[in-house]
Chain A
Amino acid sequence: MSEILRLENVSRHFSGLQALRDVTLTVNKGEVLGLIGPNGAGKTTLVNTICGVTPANSGKIIFDGKDITPIKTYQAARLGLSRTFQIVQPFAEFTALDNVAAAALFSQPGQSLKVAREQAMAHLVYVGLELQANHPAATLTLAMRKRLELAKALAMKPKLLFLDEVNAGLNSAEVERATKLIHELAASGITIVMIEHLMKVVLNVCTRIAVLHNGALIADGAPREVIENPAVVEAYLGQQYAKRNAARG
């Protein structure tokens, strides 16, 4: 498998707080990498650092063979790095359609508004929001806004897609629906890095798991191996989960 993203000793601190410590990680084309860890472990910061929101203080980030460490956010978006937000970030006054059109318009240089709107409709249909196309984003439910985020991310024609807790705050029926969508996306060949707390979803969807704790990478490997790793159990999953998991085999 060829690699699409490589982090070399990436560190980031916010004054005294060391959010990322020497993270070295590769993501291969076509895989679904789960990024897990306790609250405050640096998962979102890692995504922000790759996308140029909070540039790395040291280390190197290589995407598709190019060094993108000092890149600006909008440039990262145009290269094919797209993401959804843990806390959804819609353009509240715009309709769902224009939200997605904005993503299609500005991520592809030379795109026209008309074409962008047509493409946007296709993405809305894909995530099941076609009936809400002309509703202002502010009136959508949380589950719909999460799907809107996904449609926006897809409209950017991503090579690498970061999903930041797309299932947080959803009920189990909605989670099931979202999981199905992620499966379909992975099957269509998009490389996905997902931050997720629901272990059921992680084990169901991911082909590999990386675990962050206090900004450092403490485990990286196949899902089954990682959840039995004592360090991961200690830092994140807890003894109870390990016992239950062991009992179930």
Chain B
Amino acid sequence: MTKSNIALLVLLAIVASLPLFGGAYTLRLGTIACMYAILALSWNVVGGFAGYPSFATAAFFGFGAYTTGVLLNKGLPLWLCVVISAVAALLITAALGAALLRLRGHYFAIASLSLVEVLRELVNNATDLTGGGMGLNIPLVSGSGVLAEAMSFFYAMWILLLLTALMVMAVAGSKLGFGLACIRQNETASSMVGLNTTLYKSIAFGLSACFVSAAGGIYAAWVHYIDPSDVFDILYSVKPIVMALMGGLGSPLGVACGAFLYLALEEVVWRNYIQIHTGVLGLIIVLLLLFLPHGLISLRPANLWRRVKHV
């Protein structure tokens, strides 16, 4: 196992100890941090490894939220709903990928973006099943207290993050990851050496969907009420990309750090500049990307030393 993978696991262990240090607010923040990291790490599989700029994260998230929401209303246990959401997302997305991933670059970006709109409209119009624009109420999972429930959702999200991180590490070190790196660098040459590019890209797309969908499911159960404009929010597509770029494209450790940094910035800026917070946040992101184009991961001591020598 590489050094950066160990560092990522240590980071996750630190996040797991969060409830020891704070109350409801810390737990809420921790749950969102885990969720963001799941989104960013998942996006990294198709966007970072394979080099396909997907804007479909919000579609997977909303799909998971509604699948879990509808199934919970039918009386299924939460864990089963989340597993069904993840598996369904994996299969549907891999099948969709075989068609969508024929497009490259900007064209793929637009096509993946349209996936969000299509799903949102479907949910809006399937009023009988989803409540349409009225939203969907989701029953309480347990009868325990507020803080105990917050704690259990935090750990549910954390375990999902751990699984996502393990999946991303496994992919990075495997034949699949090697093949995706080939596709990112030169797709023509990849198929010429015998790589089934359609299959590899579809698997990557499916993997980038299933954990996001599961996270959407846990989110739905956590907030008890979802509506299409909330869970199919285009920001769920854009934020993971920003996090991955801030942390360092392709590196699991960097992407996870990017997600946590993004959340920290978002929270601090929102508290201090309530009226112009999106503007300030945008400015900070632009500055970070300008001065740190390869993300946080390029701030390793060895690299800093190289930079100093260069000067």
Genuine A/B complex: yes
Closest residue on chain B to residue A152 by CB atoms: B193
Give CA–CA (A105, B200) in the complex, Å: 14
A72 partner residues in chain B, CB cutoff 8 A: 191
Contact of B192 among A83, A94, A105, A113 (CB under 8 A): A83
A242 partner residues in chain B, CB cutoff 8 A: none
Give CA–CA (A49, B197) in the complex, Å: 19
Contact of A51 among B178, B186, B190, B192 (CB under 8 A): B192
Do B182 and A102 touch (CB < 8 A)? Answer: yes
Do A89 and B194 touch (CB < 8 A)? Answer: no
A225 partner residues in chain B, CB cutoff 8 A: none
Contact with B along A95-122 (1 / 0, CB 8 A): 0001000110111100011000000000
Closest Cβ–Cβ distance, residue A62 to chain B (whole Å): 20
Asked if A199 CB lies within 8 Å of chain B CBs, one says no
Do A77 and B194 touch (CB < 8 A)? Answer: yes
Closest residue on chain A to residue B177 by CB atoms: A113
A91-B192 contact in complex given A106-B179, A113-B175, C-beta closer than 8 Å: no
Closest residue on chain B to residue A109 by CB atoms: B194
Asked if A13 CB lies within 8 Å of chain B CBs, one says no
Do B182 and A74 touch (CB < 8 A)? Answer: no
Asked if B185 CB lies within 8 Å of chain A CBs, one says yes
Contact of A89 among B175, B179, B186, B196 (CB under 8 A): B186
Give CA–CA (A77, B174) in the complex, Å: 21
Do A105 and B178 touch (CB < 8 A)? Answer: yes
Contact of A92 among B186, B191, B193 (CB under 8 A): B186
Asked if B13 CB lies within 8 Å of chain A CBs, one says no
Asked if B189 CB lies within 8 Å of chain A CBs, one says yes
Do A102 and B197 touch (CB < 8 A)? Answer: no
Closest Cβ–Cβ distance, residue A65 to chain B (whole Å): 20
Q: Which residues of A contact B (CB under 8 A)?
A: 51, 53, 72-74, 77-78, 82-83, 85, 89-94, 98, 102-103, 105-108, 112-113, 152, 156
Starting from the known contacts A85-B189, A90-B186, 5 additional A-B residue pairs (CB-CB under 8 Å) come to: A53-B188, A94-B185, A105-B179, A106-B194, A156-B194
A-B contact pairs, 19 of them (CB 8 A): A51-B192, A73-B191, A74-B194, A74-B195, A85-B189, A89-B188, A91-B185, A91-B186, A92-B185, A94-B185, A102-B179, A102-B182, A102-B190, A105-B179, A106-B190, A106-B194, A106-B195, A108-B194, A156-B194
